[in-house]
Structure formats: structure tokens, C-alpha cells
Amino acid sequence: MEWEIVMGLEVHVELATKTKIFCSCTTEFGGAPNTHCCPVCTGMPGTLPVLNKKVLEYAVKAGLALNCDITRYNKFDRKNYFYPDLPKAYQISQLYLPFAKNGHVDLVTRSGKEKTVRIHEIHMEEDAGKLVHSAFGEATFPDYNRCGVPLIEIVSEPDFRTSEEVIAYLEKLKTTFEYLGISDCKMQEGSMRADVNLSVRPKGSEEFGTRTEMKNINSFKAIERAIAFESARQIEAIENGEKIVQETRRWDDNKGKTFAMLSKENAQDYRYFPEPDIPPISINDDTIKEYLDAMPEFASDKVKRYEAEFGIAKADAEIIAGSKYLARLFEDTVAICKDAKEVKYWIMSQIMYFMNEKGVQPEDITLSAEQFAQFVKIVLADRINKQTGKVVFEEMFFSKGEFDLEKYIKDNNLEQVDDTEAIREAVLVVFANNPNTVEQYKAGQTKVVGFFVGQVMKQLRGKAKPDTVNRVVAEELAKL
């Protein structure tokens, strides 16, 4: 039988406000354990939470960017549970009146398939602390620095069918929030965390199967593997006549398997009730209009503009616009040096290489647009050739801004040699050093031309202008 995978995502995103959701403690990541805390976020009796206005602003902007209806009158609710990472023994969240509902996200997957995923709702809540377990399991240390860090939870409808769609969705959320400036969505630091609900059903069936939920998988790669494993596990179980149990399963990335955690039967009853310490919030039309008017240019708009304005291929434009930081570097550099194609070339060849092979994250790029533009001008003026350019670019890229481009080229004597006589001299030296190859050429083996060109380049330490080398080699060969 052919099976179809059905998935719905619950994504937690930490909002990048300077302070926490209900107190003035910093939200900064890291820090010594329990140094970013106060009586409010550690739930001391007698303290009162006060909603951080920025949290509401960031949350509403996220809701608008994901095409949601914003609830004009919304409230917080108390979700009660005991766990050592939550000293208050309840989490302030939203159950009955979440601030945003009925949105959608338009996606294009890596293989070019278009898809719209519906958003069921988005709510605001506070994060819990972290438990650090000692190596041999003899102790657990609670760290409450993360308690009260603002979160939004985005709940999708069960609209995903492939892991490609899931990845495209998470990437879209990340770039959208990056452009909005409301979160950095770093999965590796836990500022974006995805829970994947997954069920399978016979292809063509309208009815949903029983789902399991995989919590907090922390990389795109792991999500892809977890989906492949869990869907295969469910299909095999059903084909063997077993029933899928609705439960939470933990993905173990080392073992490559999911393991049962909580089943719904013994799931907790959170005894939700309206949060009595925070007054209801009303959001007016003027505020919404103001946020809508101030929406940034998002990735999909940039792609269209890069194609139209700069004649850049869609695939390249998508990569550049896929990161706010790359897009900014690209746009600012083009504004100075006025050659979008050349700037694109260096981003796509060198920066993409550093990102893929050296783990460079776009937000960590320190290369300034001014320096990048200066480099492009030097290349366009033919002062260094592309090969030397790659070496110079790498040196400049990793120099953290203190790099004197002119001095580096001068000190290393990298300026391109376009002196025909100097090149001719080198060609003659190469001929003299390789008499056998010269004989081969005379005997009709024209493929040795490439060898001569390579040797001349080497003789001139890679600095010669390739066009001139080709021309002079051809001229000298004709004289043999």
C-alpha cells in the first residue's frame, strides 16, 4: 500500500527583546547560571508580573507577517505544572484567546514546489529554565536564566506532507523573523525549537491517522532524519497490525531513533485558568496599521527585485535574499561599486563556500560593504586576476575588518602582470625547459597547449592575465 505522511508543526521562537516578558532581567543567551534572574522570574511569593510592551509589539508583528488575524482583545492564562525548571509551578501562556489566528505561509520547497501552509494560531508565553545534569547522573542543577524569556508558539494546521516542506517552512520563519528583527531563530542556541506532530494514512484517504509528537529537535538535518525514521516506524507498525499510540516521542540523534516519552493517557492536566495578575490587552487598529506600514521588504520581494533590477538569476537571488545579513551586504556593496553581477559572483563562489565548508554563519560576517566594494573595483580594473582574487578575498574575509587591501596586494606583489614582453620571456623559458613537450606539439599533439599555459602561469606566480598568456603562447607556438 502507498502511504502519505501528515505533519503539523508547533514552533517556539524566542523574541529578541532586551528584557524578559514580565520583569526587567536581561534575555541574553549564556551567562553564569542563575545570574539573569530576579524574584519575579523565579516566582517568589508576592511578586507581580508586568507585561513588556516590546514583547507584544514583536509578537503582533510576527502575526501580521504570517498573515494572521490579530485578536483585538486578548488575555493570558495560567498553565499549571510541577517541574524543576519552572520555579513558579505555572507558566503564563495563552489558551483561550491567543493573540493571532488563521494565518498562512506561502512556501517554495528546494525542488521548486509551491505550497501554502495554514497557521492555526500563535500565542505568547514565557520560557522555562534549563536543567543541567551532571555527567554521572548524581545531580541536576537548575539554571533559571531562561525563565521568563519571551516566546511565541506558532501552531500550524496538519498541512505538511514531506520533510522538504517542513524545512522550507522553518527556513521561511527564520528569514521572516530575521527581517522583522524580532528573533535570530538560532536552532543551535534554542531560540527556535520545533515539535513535529506526525501521522501516516493510506494515500487518498481523507481521514487522519493517530499522531505522535517529536519534541525539540534541534537541527534541520535531525528533523529530516527524525521524520524519515518516525514515518517508517509508524507504517511498519500499522502493516504489522499494531495500533499507533498518541504519545510524545524523543528523537535521539545519535541512535537515529525515536523513543516513547509520555502517552496521552497519562498526560498532565494543566488546570488552565485566566491569569489573574495580568490585565487583558487590547490592540487597536492604529497600532496594527502602523506595524503594517513599517513592514520590511521580505525575502520573496527581494528576489523579484534582484531579478528585475540587477538581472540576477532567481536561484542566486533566493540564496542571497534568504539571509537578511547577506542581503544587506549585497545591497550595500552594490550601492557603492555599482556592479551587482560581480558582487554576486564573489558571494556565490567565495562566501557560500565559507558558509558550506567552514561553518560561517551569515550573521557573523564582519566584512564591510566598503571593503568588499573596494575589492570588487580592484578586480574590475584587472589589477588582480580571479585566481589571485580568491586568495585575497579569503584573507580579507577572515581578517575581522582590520585589513589594508592595497597594502596586502603591494606587500605580496600580487598585482596582475599584463606586460606582454615579460609574459613572452616566461613562455620562452617554459619552452626551453620542456623540449620534449615542444616536440610533442610539433608532432601534432595540440592538447599540450594547456600545459604550456599552466606552466607560464606558474612561472609568473599566478599573477599573469590569462587572456594575454593564451595569446602569447599561441603566438610563440606558431613560430616553432
Q: Interface with Zn ion by CB under 5 A: which residues?
A: 23, 25, 38, 40-41
Residue 332's binding partner among Zn ion, ligand ADP, none (Cβ under 5 to 8 angstroms by kind) is: none
Q: Which is nearer to ligand ADP, 149 or 198 (by Cβ)?
A: 198
Quote the least distance from Cβ 222 to ligand ADP, whole Å: 19
Residue 303's binding partner among Zn ion, ligand ADP, none (Cβ under 5 to 8 angstroms by kind) is: none
Q: Which is nearer to ligand ADP, 212 or 455 (by Cβ)?
A: 212
Quote the least distance from Cβ 39 to Zn ion, whole Å: 7
Q: Which is nearer to ligand ADP, 7 or 147 (by Cβ)?
A: 7
Q: Which is nearer to ligand ADP, 168 or 320 (by Cβ)?
A: 168
Q: Which is nearer to ligand ADP, 6 or 227 (by Cβ)?
A: 6
> What ranges in 253-385 are assigned the alpha helix state H?
285-293, 299-310, 314-321, 324-337, 340-346, 352-358, 369-380
CA separation for the pair 150, 282 (Å, rounded): 19
Residue 25's binding partner among Zn ion, ligand ADP, none (Cβ under 5 to 8 angstroms by kind) is: Zn ion
Quote the least distance from Cβ 278 to Zn ion, whole Å: 15
Quote the least distance from Cβ 160 to ligand ADP, whole Å: 8
Quote the least distance from Cβ 363 to Zn ion, whole Å: 27
Q: Which three cell numbers stand for residue 28?
A: 541574553
Q: Which is nearer to ligand ADP, 208 or 259 (by Cβ)?
A: 208
> What are the DSSP calls for 52-88, one per residue?
-HHHHHHHHHHHHHTTPEEPSEE--EEEE---TT-TT
Quote the least distance from Cβ 43 to Zn ion, whole Å: 10
Q: Are strands 77-80 and 192-202 parallel, antiparallel or unpaired?
A: unpaired
Quote the least distance from Cβ 7 to ligand ADP, whole Å: 5
Quote the least distance from Cβ 233 to ligand ADP, whole Å: 14
Q: Which is nearer to ligand ADP, 212 or 468 (by Cβ)?
A: 212
Q: Give yes or no for a contact between 198 and 226, defined as CB atoms under 8 angstroms apart.
A: no
CA separation for the pair 147, 25 (Å, rounded): 10
Q: How many CB atoms lie within 10 A of CB 467?
A: 11
Residue 196's binding partner among ligand ADP, Zn ion, none (Cβ under 5 to 8 angstroms by kind) is: none
Residue 416's binding partner among Zn ion, ligand ADP, none (Cβ under 5 to 8 angstroms by kind) is: none
Q: Which residue is nearest to ligand ADP (CB)?
A: 8
Residue 155's binding partner among ligand ADP, Zn ion, none (Cβ under 5 to 8 angstroms by kind) is: ligand ADP
Q: Which is nearer to ligand ADP, 20 or 123 (by Cβ)?
A: 123
Q: Using alpha carbons only, what angle is made at residue 279 by residues 273 and 280, rounded to the nearest 5 degrees?
A: 80
> What are the DSSP calls for 360-425, one per residue?
--GGG----HHHHHHHHHHHHTTSS-HHHHHHHHHHHHTTTT---HHHHHHHTT-PPB--HHHHHH
Instruction: Using DSSP, state whether 235 is helix, strand or coil.
Output: helix
Residues within the interface to ligand ADP (CB under 6 A): 6-10, 155-158, 197-199, 208-209, 211
Q: Give yes or no for a contact between 230 and 214, defined as CB atoms under 8 angstroms apart.
A: yes
* Strand partners for 153: 12, 123
Residue 197's binding partner among ligand ADP, Zn ion, none (Cβ under 5 to 8 angstroms by kind) is: ligand ADP
Residue 4's binding partner among ligand ADP, Zn ion, none (Cβ under 5 to 8 angstroms by kind) is: none
Q: Which is nearer to Zn ion, 38 or 422 (by Cβ)?
A: 38
Quote the least distance from Cβ 332 to ligand ADP, whole Å: 39
Q: Which residues contact residue 159 at a Cβ distance below 8 angstroms, ignoring those fewer than 6 apart?
A: 8, 115, 116, 117, 118
CA separation for the pair 127, 121 (Å, rounded): 18
Query: Of 308, 317, 382, which is closest to residue 344 (Cα–Cα)?
Result: 317
Provide the edge-to-edge strand list for the sheet that holds 100-108: 69-70, 100-108, 114-126, 150-156, 3-14, 192-202, 212-217, 247-252, 257-263
Residue 49's binding partner among ligand ADP, Zn ion, none (Cβ under 5 to 8 angstroms by kind) is: none
